[in-house]
Amino acid sequence: MSVKSQSKKEDLLRVAGEIFFRQGFAATGVKQIIDEVGIAKGTFYFHFSSKEEIGIAWLKAANDNWNAAMAEKLDKANSPRDKIIALFSMLEDWIKTSDYRGCAFLNSLAELPQPEGLMREVVREHKESLRAEVVGLTRAHFSDKSKVYADHKAYVIYLLFEAALVESQNSREDWPVKTVHQELLAILS
């Protein structure tokens, strides 16, 4: 029962996802993907009807993976406060391991000008669910405060999360992560 190559389609999605993230969706050709997987052109189009389709599959898988990792990480934290902090700990890890390539979803957002596209839809949904998560945790943490107050703080926390991703990618320094980490602790008092 080998670890590698459970199926060509999975291989394709995994390899394509890596390249898409590394060098961008538009900048990646189907040729490069199939060469790196070691399959023929026709095999690619047997499994995915278009480049956009594998792009959507890539973002959906990235969303699923993130949600799974997040659920696992947050389960280990006890209080809403600890869960929020755990979220930012994931962010720090990601920025380090991703070689400052930033966020696959935000990068795709920038590459895709038309807001009507299917990939853009996946981006919106991913960010919306992340924001909902932050809102839920923040409301729980500020259960003694008004919902208006808690939601405002939640939005700020979410925005800082996003900004850390983008500014780390741009500056390739660690001040964004440190700043949001410190501000987060202040917000959660």
Q: Are 2 and 28 in contact (CB under 8 A)?
A: no
Least distance to DNA from the beta carbon of 85, Å?
40
Alpha-carbon distance values, 3 to 7, 53, 55, 125 (Å): 11, 26, 24, 32
Residue 74 corresponds to which tokens in the numbers above?
A: 């947050």
Of residues 88-117, those binding its own copies (CB under 8 A): 100-102, 106-113, 115
By beta-carbon proximity to its own copies, the closer residue of 8 and 127 is 127
Euclidean distance between CA atoms 139 and 149, whole angstroms: 9
Least distance to DNA from the beta carbon of 100, Å?
24
Euclidean distance between CA atoms 165 and 162, whole angstroms: 5
Which of 1, 2, 3, 49 forms a contact with DNA (CB under 7 A)? 49
User: What is the x/- site pattern for its own copies, positions 111-150, by CB under 8 A?
Assistant: xxx-x-------xx--xx----------------------
Which is it for the CA torsion 108, 110, 116, 122, positive or negative? positive
Assign 189 to helix, strand or coil. coil
Of residues 93-112, those binding DNA (CB under 7 A): none
* 184 half-sphere exposure, CB direction, 13 A CA radius: 28
Which of 14, 18, 24, 39 forms a contact with DNA (CB under 7 A)? 39
Q: Which does 39 bind (CB under 5 to 8 A by kind): DNA, its own copies, none?
A: DNA
Which of 11, 30, 98, 155 forms a contact with its own copies (CB under 8 A)? 155
Q: Are 157 and 169 in contact (CB under 8 A)?
A: no
Nearest CA to 60 among 114, 8, 4, 16?
Answer: 16
By beta-carbon proximity to DNA, the closer residue of 38 and 115 is 38
For 112, phi then psi, to 5°, come to -110, 95
Asked if 24 is part of the footprint of its own copies (rule: CB under 8 A), the reply reads yes
Binding site for its own copies (CB under 8 A): 22-24, 26-27, 100-102, 106-113, 115, 123-124, 127-128, 152, 155-156, 159-160, 162-164, 166-167, 169-172, 175-176, 179-180, 182-183
